[in-house]
Amino acid sequence: MKTIEVYTPAELKEHYPEGFEKAHSDYNYNNIDIPWSDDTIESMKQVFKAANIALRDWSIDGINPRCSYVKFDIETATGELTGQRAIAWLENNLFWKLRTPWGMKKIKDRVRYHHAPGSIPECPLTGYCADDDYLDALTKEILDGSTIKEAFQNLGYVAGKILEGEIEYMQSEEYFIENDWMEYTAEGKAI
């Protein structure tokens, strides 16, 4: 019977740095699934749906976000709106649906929302934090001078950046060390 000593990623880092580097490198090479990717895409789709814009196609790239794109149908006149008219369009076609209602007289209604009347609660579309990223990006793009069409086109890039951030975090030493259920030999070989 042969006994093999095993170590968590944190123990490897502390006692066997070369083994840690190998284990971390192998882990990054073999783990390519992006957590929350489905939720990130669903959140983006819900923004389009809530704004009544037909999303036809998309490709989101977490490695190179600039290669991400969305294709959608929008009326030419609407797509070309800028400035205050674009802000008004966002409010009238998207944001108002998400806002906590005004004039709630019953306490049970006020308690139900947990937000100030007229505010948009966190993660209002899917319950996932990417909702806020997309809504903020739309507002920022319009305030920076983009058209409605350009602001919605930018959502593909925003989705790619969200996934890129997930990949970077998944490949970080911090994330690897948090996986204390994994075991390795001193040389960094997975058990």
Q: According to the model, what pLDDT value does residue 36 have?
A: 85
Q: How many CB atoms lie under 10 A from the CB of residue 184?
A: 23
Question: In which domain, by residue range, is 75 found?
Answer: 37-169
- Evaluate whether residue 53 is within a structural domain: yes
Q: Is 54 helix (H, G, I), strand (E, B) or coil?
A: strand
In a domain, 185, yes or no: no
- Residue 113 binned pLDDT confidence (cut-offs 50, 70, 90): low
| Average pLDDT across the chain, whole number | 90
- d(CA 110, CA 101) in angstroms, rounded, equals 9
Q: Which residues contact 138 (CB under 8 A, 6 or more apart)?
A: 47, 90, 94, 151, 152, 154, 155
In this prediction, residue 31 has a pLDDT band, given cuts at 50, 70 and 90, of confident
Tens of pLDDT, residues 50-97: 999 999 999 999 889 999 999 999 999 999 999 999 999 999 999 999
Alpha-carbon distance values, 148 to 75, 78, 168 (Å): 10, 7, 30
Domain membership flag for residue 71: yes
For residue 10, is it within any domain?
no
> Tokens representing 45?
């789709």
What's the domain count of the chain?
A: 1
Residue 56, classed as helix, strand or coil, is: strand
The reply to whether 120 falls in a domain is yes
Kindly state whether residue 182 falls inside one of the protein's structural domains.
no
Is residue 11, in this structure, part of any structural domain at all?
Answer: no
Domain assignment present for 152: yes
How confident is residue 105, by pLDDT bands cut at 50, 70 and 90? low
Burial 96-127 (b: 16+ CB within 10 A, else e): eeebbeeeeeeeeeeeeeeeeeeebeeebbbe
